Structure 1
Amino acid sequence: MLPSVTFLAKFSPAHRRTITASAIHLTPWQPSSPQAEHASLSMMADKCKSMDQLKQIHAQMIVTSRIHDTFAASRLLNFCALSASGDLNYALKLLEHTPMPNLFMWNTVIIAQASSSSPFEGLLLYADMRRRGVVPGKHTFPFVLKACSNMKSVRCCEQVHAHVFKFGLDSDLHVVSGLVRGYSVSGGIGDARRVFDELGNRNLSIWTTMICGCAQNDSAEEAIRLFDGMIADGFEPNEVILCSVLSACAQSACLVLGEQIHEYIEEKGMELDVILGTALVNMLLRTDHWLKQNSAFMD
């Protein structure tokens, strides 16, 4: 429930500041200017540890009219939506009561909903944002595509993809990586590959997303071909790629490459964490090289 303006209005301005400041264990003070008070409230919101503290700061913002400033409101919303101690429903109410939410506020609630148990709500928020005439940015689409991924909906990815083209972000690496991941997680590996192939300049993140997508969609041979292409382009594989390629090697019985990757890991002195170690052992099990398997575990 949002703080009541009527209740707080019964007190004098000085008394209201004392009440709200003491409630969150802060020493009451008189800011030297409206700008100083604005900055102070925003900093207080950034340092919140609980919803009780945030509600007191919210109340102070209301009685000092700072809540109408979108930057100050966005600090409150950020805590509510993304903090482990926050409250997503409260964040949505804040958004609803903000006359003109800025893009940062929309992005914040979209990613929060996309990561929740109701990712479709993230798509509804995006649709609401567009109805209000807010133009999405390059940080918006990866959040919306995360909702598509969590829903495993190729159709949703296609619709968002059309908007990516509409707003001229089809060459942005961050956005394209979200598209590739969205399609591949949703089972549309062919669509993911087309997006990948149309991109001229690729970075390691794009290669990683595409290779992992193929490995996870039982396209082991394609993952290995992409890995070869990545090496030819001069990129060094990271641990995530190595895990995916080792899995592809095990699936396709490409044991020579698997052993080469094993040697590469040893040469680089890479630490075998649980994920990489398990991928390596699964590949080695296919080769019948039990000594290498035991060595990998003992190291």
Structure 2
Amino acid sequence: MNIEVSHVAKTYGTVQAVQDLSFTIPGGQIFALLGPNGAGKSSLIRMLVGLTLPDQGHIRVTLAGQHYSTLPDGCFGYLPEDRGLYLDKTVVENLQYIGQLRGLSKHQITEQLDHWLQRLDLLDKRKENLSKLSKGNQQKVQLISCLMHQPALLILDEPFSGLDPINQEHVLTILAELKAKGTTVLLSAHQMALVERLADQMMLLNKGQVVAQGNLQQVTQQLDPKVSYSVTFADAIDTSQLDLCSSIRLWHMQAPQQFLLELREHVSVNQLLQQLSQLGALADFSRQQPSLHDLYLAAVQHHNLTPESAVSPSNEGAVA
């Protein structure tokens, strides 16, 4: 399945939720939507699943050689931002009902339930009402409801929400396995360390517009084109000499004898090393690669936005 979005826009009253977005999600890849509240992620997802229509532009879905303007029913699993299962029903009752809505036979439902309940460690919870489950276990039931009909496309809005680090790893592994089998995945998430490991392509939105787009290396280059290195000298040096190095644009002392250097444009590593070696013997030298988390925060601050509290470099605040 391929998805092509071309010059799509959506306005609610006076608010431009999505502005002239164009991108492609190749089949069998994991595509991550990033951005703070109000960036346009949910508005874009709603258009993709056909809950709303774009005011301009078009969406083209290619599945088994056929072309569609919205996603065909039954071909996708959707985990919305607002969860929708029945808290007063058991895990099995909820999932059996979802399976019936998806047109699965009793045998298929039983087979899928056995597989996913075991895979996500919910077998002992199958007869419990959802209201009695932890937030993390409720989230796992929601995920199963998206997976049991084996869709060609998964659209997941915050799939790691409420999951502890162990269960986040379980879901990460499941998504990687589904990708290997050809499933296309579109996800919106704030666990940047997981997105770095998982996504083939990503797009950072701000106020409905694209801030950066591409693979991790391309997004990193777009958000932070600076080239920085960490250098540690074997002995103390005269720091005033760093100001005289033509290769160095800025420098910052991180610790005694350790410095963070930002290079000028068109300066090679060899040029830098040659100048540094004249200041003293080097004990360590490495390129500094900012994390996606740091780049996200920098982009948010640059655009005078307030980052969501849910954004985390790892798994802070996760629950079981």
Larger-Rg structure? 1
Pick the structure with more strand per residue: 2
Name the structure, 1 or 2, with higher relative contact order (CA <8 Å, separation 6+).
2
- TM-score of the superposition, structure 2-length normalised? 0.31
Pick the structure with more helix per residue: 1
- TM-score of the superposition, structure 1-length normalised? 0.33
